[in-house]
Structure 1
Amino acid sequence: MAEQKHVVIVGAGFGGVCLAKELAKENVRITLVDRHNYHLFQPLLYQVATAVLAVPEIAYPTRAFFKHNKNVEFQLASAEGVDQERKVLLTNHGEIAYDYLVLAAGATTNFFGNESVAQNSYPMKSLQEAIALRSHLVHEFERAARVNETDDDERQRHLNFVIVGGGATGIELAGAIIELIDVFKKEYHSLDFSRVHVILLEAMGSVLPMVPPDLQQKTIDVLRKKGVDVRLNTAVTDYDGSTLSLKGGDVIPTKTVIWAAGVRAQDFIKDCGGEVDRAGRIIVEENLLVRGSDCVFAIGDCANFQHGTERPLPTVAPVATQEALQVGRNIMALIHGKKPEELGRFVYQDLGAMATIARGEAVMNGPIPVIGINMKASGFIAWTAWMFVHLMRLAGKYANFTVMMKWIWNYILGKRLARIILTKME
């Protein structure tokens, strides 16, 4: 019997876990490497940040996926680079030799070189960041409600909440924060809620670029009706932790800036032996091999795939999982003797886009789940479809059930019970 080939996968996100599950069925040895011991359902991070869901409902132990797969090992480590000549992955806990390597490390927040914004704003790409934001949001109302607070300008800084970025994350956060404030209105009796402002800033002329213009306008209309101050063509220039400066000279006094304006690849990707783009993503060929390599692949948010498309593919889960399936086939083809130039080419199947705006409000443009009929919709129908899709993709039966029950509970009563502060108040 031939010796098992060793496949190393960096990243336990959507693409990495999908690939490991596929290759677990084959006669290969797999090592899945991640700096966290859990798989994170990133699309629902904002619901942890706004006290809709609790941590275990969107984070699933990575080892639990593979408890019946003896050929899959998980290693808790941070990747630091790749030595392609020696065929080893470099980590903070030593080197891991590979026959085939797949980079599926996801992305981090892109501050576009603005260090002051990076130091003082709240990003939304990790579980720790979502928990920190949740505590901060509750803290701000506690600070504003202090009886001995006499400085009205300072109080206003605590009551202005700014989200930068009009993509799905920014839209979903804006709607969720407005609904969290509706809960607070019943509990913070001394506060004047006419002074509470949620502001969404977008540098371009529209929000949600992945949906048609009429759905973009529908999204803006719903947010504005709920009280969100949506400002288009508004770029941020600086933020010092107390004052947000805008292009054109305007300023917003605020202690809360949530940055949802872009992503870039993890820093170590540039040290993996391939060519990278301006966002740090490693450039791949049509077969998803890293340019210049015959055994290193890259998928998902850390890969720049631009073949037959005007721009790189979007940083969404369907891209990562579809690429994972193609890489799985290509690795097995290499093991069975095919040459790199004979590998299958990746073709992305666009599954459309959807975003939730608030309770009972969402937009979608794409196939209806299960039925598969293409549909452009908004309102309750789109919101129901959004819920169904996300429930299907959650890991674990416990998460499916509890999230469904919490969403029903939240829709009917608007309750937010996860408003527990775990950090010390300044």
Structure 2
Amino acid sequence: MTSETGTPQRHRVVVIGSGFGGLFSTQALKRADVDVTLIAKTTHHLFQPLLYQVATGILSEGEIAPSTRLVLRKQHNAEILLGSVTDIDLDARTVTSEAMAITRVTPFDSLIVAAGAKQSYFGNDHFAEYAPGMKTIDDALELRGRILGSFEQAEICTDDYERERLMTFVVVGAGPTGVELVGQIAELAHRTLHGSFRNIDSRNARIILLDGADDVLPVYGGKLSASAAKRLTKMGVEIHTGAMVTDVDRDGITIKKKDGSEKLIRCQCKVWSAGVQASKLGGILAEQSHAELDRAGRVHVNPDLSLPGHPNVFVVGDMMALDNLPGLAQVAMQGGTYVAKNIAEEAGGRPHHERKPFKYWDKGSMATISRFSAVAKVGRLELTGFIAWIIWLVIHLMYLVGFKSRLTTLMSWATTFFGRGRGQMTITVQQVLARSALGQLGNGKYAVLDVDAAKKLAQEEAERVLALERSHNGTRHHADGGFTDEGSGADAEEGPAEAAG
């Protein structure tokens, strides 16, 4: 273990997380008389609102996830440490992080916790093996492999019953992420891939959107929800609202309707976007400060975003619970900038009791449905269709980090939206198998993670598909292999989960 010692000459600020809250707070301290240490478990800053475009082949991961070191390389009062934070000691004012078997203890005078949130399966974490969420670059690349791989398997499958399952795509959660993703899967099937196969018609893909609420985009409601549902239906998306997911396995999803009836939807590719859970660091903070946590694990903070009893510790972004503020990028950006301003002024001598409460400026929310179609809500103003889509393009382009990312993203959008091509259609078996293989590596099944292990998993899936075909039509088929959408593993606790967007 290594430990940072010595008495620094300047106020020490530690920032946990390189998302919107962490990056914006760090950048806002650029000219402050402080030393900033940013600790993050990834080497990049992720523009999460566009993650679904990586999953559907529109953008590359580099366009929405620039290197944090390169973004901050000219900020000389900031250093970056790669590591996953395992402990925070508020009394000792230290943060413990681990990376590549190295443990590091970093002291702080002020702490900004912006560790974000992960996908929530409402107590059914074993669903993740079959229905990945979409919170990280790894998630998006895996989903791209599963989506495109399902079409590839359907092309070589000779059994109509199994082919129907392979060409059924289900997205759980009709919030902005789910709606944007299901819309792009529909465009992928009906526009981009049309005419690319010889044994299947990609337009025959069955695309389903599930949610436990009564409306699509329930946070918008009224006109905007109705407009989104109408557009998706026109694109061929089946919408099932009032549906609770009770089980997810290798072959499909079981849902329970409000009338008590249950239905199995046979599908190969399943995506979960139904809920979020704040970082476990919230529990560590709450235990030491006696702060309350909400149902999603977010920490209830003071009006100045500080932790109760600890005016030098701040929580921003998706980990913060205050005045029912939504989990939007703008909340994290504004919160990070606000906290940084207070730290800078107090490092110069201003007492902390003079802080003004945080005020969020609602710049609106929006979601794309398809190319040339979106919904947007700014205050009382509600927009749909092409105008809302143009606003969405401008806003998202403006908040991308770096000129190069903006330029390449604009070019990728032009190719996709005004043509039929998509520049990021490459997939590999490893992208699909990585989650299962790494899990088995952790369980000791494989001594090393190598190509042979991946091939073994792929062969097991191919044999399973053949067994299904034989049991259905009594004939024998031959296959050289194929893609897989799930790996093997033991299920954890069972129980119903509500598909809430």
- Could you say which TM-score interval applies, normalised by the shorter chain? over 0.9
Q: Which residue of 2 aligns with 1:350?
A: 362
Q: Which residue of 2 aligns with 1:24?
A: 30
> Which residue identity does 1:27 align to in structure 2?
D
Instruction: Tell me, yes or no, if structure 1 residue 285 matches structure 2 residue 293.
Output: no
Query: How far is the alpha carbon of 1:212 from its aligned partner?
Result: 4.3
Is the Cα contact below 8 Å between 2:412 and 2:423 reproduced in 1?
no
Superposed CA deviations along residues 184-232 of structure 1, whole A, max 9, x for unmatched, are: 2211121144641100011101122332410110000000000000111
Summarize the alignment of residues 24-423 of structure 1 with structure 2, pairs less than 5 Å apart: 24-92=30-98, 93-146=103-156, 149-182=157-190, 183-193=192-202, 195-247=204-256, 248-272=261-285, 273-274=288-289, 275=291, 276-306=293-323, 312-366=324-378, 375-423=381-429
Is the Cα contact below 8 Å between 1:160 and 1:196 reproduced in 2?
yes
Superposed CA deviations along residues 258-293 of structure 1, whole A, max 9, x for unmatched, are: 101111112233123343222121221111001221
Separation of aligned partners in 2, 1:116 and 1:253? 18
Gaps in structure 1 of 5+ consecutive residues: 307-311, 368-373
Is the Cα contact below 8 Å between 2:33 and 2:347 reproduced in 1?
no
Separation of aligned partners in 1, 2:31 and 2:161? 62
> Which residue identity does 1:72 align to in structure 2?
A
* Counterpart secondary structure, 1:180: helix
Bigger Rg over Cα: 2
Flag the 1:55–1:193 CA change in 2: closer, same or farther, 3 A: closer
Greater relative contact order, per chain length (Cα 8 Å cut-off, separation 6+): 2
Q: Which residue of 1 aligns with 2:444?
A: none
Is the Cα contact below 8 Å between 1:18 and 1:325 reproduced in 2?
yes
Superposed CA deviations along residues 329-370 of structure 1, whole A, max 9, x for unmatched, are: 222343344444432211111111111110100011117xxx
Moved more, 356-365 or 63-72: 63-72
Separation of aligned partners in 1, 2:75 and 2:424? 35
> Which residue identity does 2:336 align to in structure 1?
A
Separation of aligned partners in 1, 2:330 and 2:420? 30
Q: Which residue of 2 aligns with 1:370?
A: none
Separation of aligned partners in 2, 1:300 and 1:209? 21
Query: How far is the alpha carbon of 1:242 from its aligned partner?
Result: 1.0
Moved more, 137-146 or 216-225: 137-146
Is the Cα contact below 8 Å between 1:121 and 1:241 reproduced in 2?
no
> Which residue identity does 1:389 align to in structure 2?
I
> Which residue identity does 1:133 align to in structure 2?
L
TM-score, with normalisation over the residues of structure 1?
0.93
> Which residue identity does 1:140 align to in structure 2?
S
TM-score, with normalisation over the residues of structure 2?
0.79
Separation of aligned partners in 1, 2:376 and 2:386? 11
Is the Cα contact below 8 Å between 1:110 and 1:262 reproduced in 2?
yes
Query: What is the Cα-based RMSD across aligned positions, in Å?
Result: 1.6
Superposed CA deviations along residues 131-168 of structure 1, whole A, max 9, x for unmatched, are: 0000111111111111xx34333222211100011111
Separation of aligned partners in 2, 1:86 and 1:254? 52
Gaps in structure 2 of 5+ consecutive residues: 1-7, 431-482, 485-501
Moved more, 243-252 or 188-197: 188-197
Separation of aligned partners in 2, 1:56 and 1:336? 38
Is the Cα contact below 8 Å between 1:287 and 1:330 reproduced in 2?
no
Superposed CA deviations along residues 361-395 of structure 1, whole A, max 9, x for unmatched, are: 0011117xxxxxx7421111111110000110111
* Counterpart secondary structure, 1:25: coil
Q: Aligned residues, how many?
A: 412
> Which residue identity does 2:22 align to in structure 1?
G
Is the Cα contact below 8 Å between 1:80 and 1:91 reproduced in 2?
yes
